[in-house]
């Protein structure tokens, strides 16, 4: 305390931290001692046999690792797939989880499928409860887990899966890791092209199409209402499943979100995925998979071996934030700020890049999908910006096969100053390459 | 209130519950109304196309579903793989999670691999930190998720995996679902048979052996110290991985748990899995995978597509319960009670079944592995007992291939009265079949 001129409370916290990290060891009645731990000198260890045992890589080439890596704390982050800290529902979540933590029954073994009120809430969100019954809802530990379980359950190893191009990199990663054959189907400004989708089903014999009809990540495209009917029709003709990943339902920025495909699905073609983390906070690892018929049974059989159930207190917290009156205020606030920040980024990009970049202004979600001149490498510009502590996502990771051009995904959740500064650095970097 | 003679608070709670379930709808200034929701009449729906689209089943035949199904609330449960509610660390968990819930940074995006103090804690637990460094630890949403990610990452589709016979049914389920070829290796009272293990590696070309060297589930067998060295040696000769699932390290009932294989592994053969739910409560969905070398990279690449990260508050709660002074008291209490209950069940079985059943008294874990006379069907007796609301687990689900006899797994976590009553019903059922 004397040496560092700090309070006893600070010293106490520091000691508690050091003890919890195992660096010091309090011995009652004797004092506190520095702990002796040392990693075995690795010079004798030989891990080289592992590469033969592991065989060829079946991962995604590191794209998820890059996406999930935490940026340096002093960087301008235009790459995060979640609301930034200032827009997260932290207060609501804290209260909800504090209450749930104190209910002992939530710590006990729960049904594998999830808490009944949470399943009922998810079911009610689609068509006012007219599509899925609560028993057709399975709770999972977040949207990525839901996508992983669903794709693995529905598509056998080595078989094809159709996806939008571009599409969510996390779904690409799941498909690659599970040994599925990714078949990209191009989109235009109205969503996936029905003629190409029908053709892809015919040509590949695929039985599953993964898509994000509302505010597709990364492109922000919304499947038009005529095409919604066409896509359902094509799946019906192909006797195939549509995995509808409705990731941004809460983040419609202009009017209401379009109705999900699931709401118009009569014959069990749509397996529907919805996550709560996107509009609350990344730490709320709660999502749902909804399905009917034999697909429900198949999914349940696979889910059990994937990870049992989701922690009870988290599930209960999810129920209570969604029914809290403050939830709507949170959502309205988050949407209003996202609109402002989207517009800030759009204006800054127009100023800095002019006609060197093209993009559509998204009506939902949190990403701007920017096309650069073809001669500029998305990877090169991403690396150049990273050296300046501006973090953006290169477009390549969002294409299941060959990218048709050079794209960047820019997330507009960051502060207006960060967005303007990021756009400015991007502009300089692009102009230097022309 | 008048009709039911209940307090205003009760009415208020009931209304809140109904509103949260979406059955009533409060309209400010107008009153509260019954909500109109109705599931579309399903008569026109035709799901029959799904069975062709889904193809042949790749699940586990329902064994996980049976294991995870919640028993009727009035039943005597001798089948649960977790501490019963009266032995769970609920008070500790409540306090820890309530504190963690209030730290906003824990709701934000975290590193995919987990919170640093939690990773450091897991690393320290093995050989006092001399085997794995914190960066070689990955946090997962529970032991099942850890097993699933690990087996899928290390064994390609269609390739063999060696397992103890009997072994944990959750690992069997993962292997079946992932399309792996399960190769059973028999155990005796000292653990897996080294001669058979070496033979299995030679014959199948397998590069992975999944095992539970300490208090194997369901048999309770401990791999002897001579065999620990032999098993490591065999893996080294076969240039293969050992996936060590150390599920019951906290639940040694006689003396200390044996050192894990990982502690003696020089050359990165052991991929080590440890869960916290078993000794705390089922709702603490936190576990770790530890690996070194190329295996670590492979596992990281796969983990990201499986489910991103584990909820921050849960991870922080796990750190703080393990460093709380009350944790040791909890563990000592739980162990003492488990010993009592194990002895109660053992005595009751000896009384009720005499030499009609054989078993070893386990020195760790929470299961008794009972062999019945061969002519008695484990499934038949399980169903007969279930009709009497006594829930036990049939042995078949724990065998990766053909069961060599008729077994039951009886969990001794239940109350002494339930254990005695369960043993009594089992005795009657067995005697009726002789």
The secondary structure of B129-162 as a DSSP string is GTS--GGGEEEESSHHHHHHHHHHHHS-TT-EEE
First to last CA, chain B: 59
Whether the pLDDT of residue A361 is over 70: the answer is yes
Residue pair B232/B261 in contact by the 8 Å Cβ criterion: yes
> What integer is the mean pLDDT of B416-426?
97
Neighbour-count burial for A6-39, b at 16+ CB within 10 Å, e otherwise? eeeeeeeeeeeebebbbebeeeeeeeeeeeeeee
8 A C-beta contact, residue A60 and residue A173: yes
Going across the sheet that includes A160-165, the strands are A137-140, A287-290, A270-275, A241-245, A208-211, A160-165, A181-188, A191-192
Decide the pairing of beta strands A208-211 and A241-245: parallel
Distance CA B406, CA A344 (A): 70
Averaged pLDDT for residues A405-431? 96
Contact A148 B306 (CB under 8 A): yes
pLDDT for A140: 95
Please give, rounded to a whole number of angstroms, the shortest distance from the CA of B344 to a CA of chain A: 24
Q: Which whole number is the average pLDDT over A324-346?
A: 96
Count of beta carbons in the 10 Å neighbourhood of residue A3: 5
Q: Confidence class of residue B43 from pLDDT cuts 50, 70 and 90?
A: low
pLDDT-based confidence at residue A26 (cuts at 50, 70, 90): confident
Q: Is the separation of the CB atoms in A288 and A300 below 8 Å?
A: no
Residue B115 to residue A144: CA distance in whole angstroms? 19
Q: What is residue A71's DSSP assignment?
A: P
Chain A residues in contact with B305 (beta carbon < 8 A): 59-60, 64, 144, 148, 170, 173-174, 176-177
Residues 368-427 of A with CB under 8 A from B: none
**Which residue in A139, A311, A321, A397 has the most chain B C-beta atoms within 10 A of its own C-beta, making it the best mutation to test that interface?**
A311
Contact A284 B107 (CB under 8 A): yes
Q: Does A23 touch chain B (CB under 8 A)?
A: no
Distance from C-alpha of A125 to C-alpha of A430, rounded to nearest angstrom: 44
* B252 Cα to chain A: minimum distance (Å): 22
Distance CA B371, CA B269 (A): 34
Structural tokens at position A214: 């509302």
**Rounded Cα distance, B165 and B66, in Å:** 20
Residues 128-157 of B with CB under 8 A from A: 128-131, 133, 141-142, 144-145, 148, 152, 154, 156-157
- A222 at the B interface (CB within 8 A)? no
pTM of the model as a whole: 0.91
**pLDDT at B180 > cutoff 60:** yes
In this predicted structure, what is the pLDDT of residue A38? 56
3-class SS at A102?
A: coil
Domains of chain A are: 1-35 (no CATH), 62-81+327-431 (3.90.1150.10), 99-323 (3.40.640.10)
Strand partners, A140: A287
Instruction: Give yes or no for residue A400 having a pLDDT over 90.
Output: yes
pLDDT tens, B251-308? Answer: 999 999 999 999 999 999 999 999 999 999 999 999 999 999 999 999 998 888 888 8
Q: Name every residue whose Cβ is closer than 8 Å to that of residue B318 and which is 6 or more positions away in sequence.
A: B96, B118, B276, B280, B284, B286
Residue A255 has which token pair?
Answer: 């009017």
pLDDT on residue A286? 96
Q: Would you call A182 helix, strand, or coil by DSSP?
A: strand
> Tokens 């996980």 sit at which residue?
B64
Most B CBs within 10 Å, among A75, A103, A306, to test the B interface: A306
Q: What is the mean pLDDT of chain B?
A: 93
pLDDT in tens, A220-258: 999 999 999 999 999 999 999 999 999 999 999 999 999
Pick from A127-131, A178-182, B162-166: least confident: A127-131
Chain A residues lying within 8 Å of B46, measured CB to CB: 267
* Test the A interface: residue of B40, B53, B112 with most A CBs within 10 Å: B53
Q: Rounded distance, CA A238 to CA A247, Å?
A: 25
Residue A39: its H or E element = none
User: What does the pLDDT read at residue A61?
Assistant: 72
Which two structure tokens, joined as six digits, stand for A243? 């995995």
Asked whether the predicted pLDDT for residue A211 surpasses 70, the reply is yes
Among A94, A122, A109, A67, which residue's Cα sits nearest to residue A287? A122
The pLDDT of A405-412, averaged and rounded, is: 97
Q: Place B9 in a pLDDT band, splitting at 50, 70 and 90.
A: confident
What tokens does B399 get?
A: 């065998």
């Amino acid at each position: 305390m004397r040496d560092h001129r700090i309070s006893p409370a600070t010293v106490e916290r520091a000691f508690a931290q050091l003890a919890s990290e195992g660096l010091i060891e309090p011995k009652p009645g004797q004092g506190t001692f520095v702990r002796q731990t040392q990693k075995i000198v690795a010079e004798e260890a030989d891990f080289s046999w592992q590469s033969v045992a592991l065989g060829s890589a079946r991962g995604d080439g590191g794209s998820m690792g890059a996406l999930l890596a935490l940026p340096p704390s002093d960087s301008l982050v235009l790459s995060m797939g979640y609301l930034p800290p200032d827009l997260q529902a932290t207060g609501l979540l804290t209260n909800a989880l504090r209450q749930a933590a104190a209910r002992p029954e939530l710590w006990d073994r729960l049904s594998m499928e999830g808490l009944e009120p949470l399943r009922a809430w998810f079911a009610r969100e689609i068509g006012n409860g007219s599509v899925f019954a609560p028993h057709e809802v399975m709770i999972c530990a977040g949207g990525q887990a839901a996508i992983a379980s669903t794709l693995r359950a529905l598509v056998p190893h080595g078989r094809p899966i159709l996806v939008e191009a571009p599409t969510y990199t996390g779904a690409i990663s799941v498909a690659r890791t599970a040994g599925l054959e990714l078949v990209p189907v191009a989109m235009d400004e109205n969503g996936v092209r029905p003629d190409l989708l029908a053709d892809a089903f015919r040509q590949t014999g695929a039985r599953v199409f993964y898509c994000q009809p509302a505010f597709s990540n990364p492109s922000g495209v919304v499947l038009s209402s005529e095409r919604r009917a066409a896509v359902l029709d094509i799946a019906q003709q192909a006797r195939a499943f549509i995995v509808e990943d409705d990731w941004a339902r809460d983040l419609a920025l202009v009017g209401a979100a379009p109705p999900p495909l699931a709401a118009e699905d009569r014959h069990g073609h749509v397996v529907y995925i919805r996550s709560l983390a996107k509009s609350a906070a990344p730490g709320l690892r709660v999502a749902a998979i909804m399905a009917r018929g034999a697909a429900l049974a198949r999914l349940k059989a696979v889910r059990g071996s994937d990870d049992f159930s989701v922690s009870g207190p988290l599930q209960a917290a999810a129920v209570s934030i969604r029914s809290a009156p403050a939830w709507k205020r949170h959502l309205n606030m988050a949407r209003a700020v996202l609109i402002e920040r989207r517009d800030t980024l759009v204006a800054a990009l127009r100023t800095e890049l002019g006609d060197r970049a093209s993009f559509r202004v998204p009506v939902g979600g949190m990403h701007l999908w920017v096309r650069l001149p073809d001669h500029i490498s998305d990877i090169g510009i991403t690396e150049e910006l990273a050296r300046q502590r501006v973090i953006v996502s290169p477009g390549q990771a969002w294409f299941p096969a060959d990218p048709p051009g050079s794209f960047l995904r820019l997330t507009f959740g960051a502060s207006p100053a960060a967005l303007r500064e990021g756009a400015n650095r991007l502009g300089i970097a692009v102009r230097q390459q022309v």
